[in-house]
Structure 1
Amino acid sequence: MTELSEPQIAQFREQLIALRAQLAGEDAGAAEWRKPVELDQQSVGRLSRMDAMQQQAMADAEARRRQTDIARIDAALTRIEEGDYGWCLTCGEAIAPKRLAIDPMATRCISCAA
């Protein structure tokens, strides 16, 4: 494996920043689904309320996934700033650019990830 070039690192940085902005936007847009479910049986039937609670649980799970991805993006951006981006955190070898193209937040080479 070879070290990433400066243009490659800049491209991954831009991709990470764009992905972070997209996830933050999705999180803001999904805030309505995470609101507490109304317990008034006069306005909403029991099955409708159960469906709303299920939607809320799914929205909460998606929000947790987005927050995890945002934390991974922030960690990748920190590695870029520190000059450690593209190197496996386990063995220290370079991570293949093709792997980073698929997952720019990857922290391990394919051997260590397996």
Structure 2
Amino acid sequence: MEKTKLEACRQRLEERLEEILKNQAFSKEENSPLELDQARVGRLSRMDAMQQRAMSKATSSMLNAEKNRIEIALKRIKANDYGYCMHCDEEIGPGRLSVDPSILICISCARLAESSA
């Protein structure tokens, strides 16, 4: 991979990681235990609060997975392994990396994993 493209990917990864870390710091407040005082909150409001909490946890889980992929990709950049599939060691297509620079596997391995799931 060209040095300029590699640097652009590294910068995008670092910027996204910073966004995720800021989001996680903000969402810690949202993940505090729910106070479901029946005298203060009606049944539908409690159900809505529980649904909002579940959606927040799902979002947090997805952000953690993305954060982990980004951290691995940044380590691979430092180790000069970036841009190669972690499964088959073939080069990951530049178009695939331009869409998401945190991608760790090639399209063939991704299809194989998807078909076996």
TM-score by length of 2: 0.88
Match of 1:81 in 2: 78
Deviation at 1:35, TM superposition (A): 2.0
Question: Does the 8 Å CA contact 1:35/1:56 hold for their aligned counterparts?
Answer: no
Separation (CA, whole Å) in 1 of partners of 2:32 and 2:50: 10
The Cα offsets for residues 4-39 of structure 1, whole Å up to 9 and x where unpaired, read as: 011111110000000011111222222333222112
**1:34–1:57 Cα contact (<8 Å) kept:** no
User: Which secondary structure state, in structure 2, belongs to the residue aligned with residue 30 of structure 1?
Assistant: helix
Q: How does 1:1-114 map to 2 (within 5 A)?
A: 4-114=1-111
Q: Tell me the amino acid that sits aligned with residue 30 of structure 1.
A: S
Count, aligned residues: 111
SS in 2 for 1:89: coil
Query: What is the TM-score normalised by the length of structure 1?
Result: 0.90
- Work out which structure has the larger RCO, using CA pairs closer than 8 Å and 6 or more positions apart in sequence: 1
Report sequence identity in percent: 42
RMSD between aligned residues: 1.2
**2:46, 2:31 → 1: CA distance?**
14
- Structure 1 unaligned spans of 5+: none
The one-character-per-residue Cα deviations of 1:54-94 (angstroms, maximum 9, x if unpaired) are 10111011111111110110000010011100011222221
Q: What 5-or-longer segments of structure 2 have no aligned partner?
A: 112-117
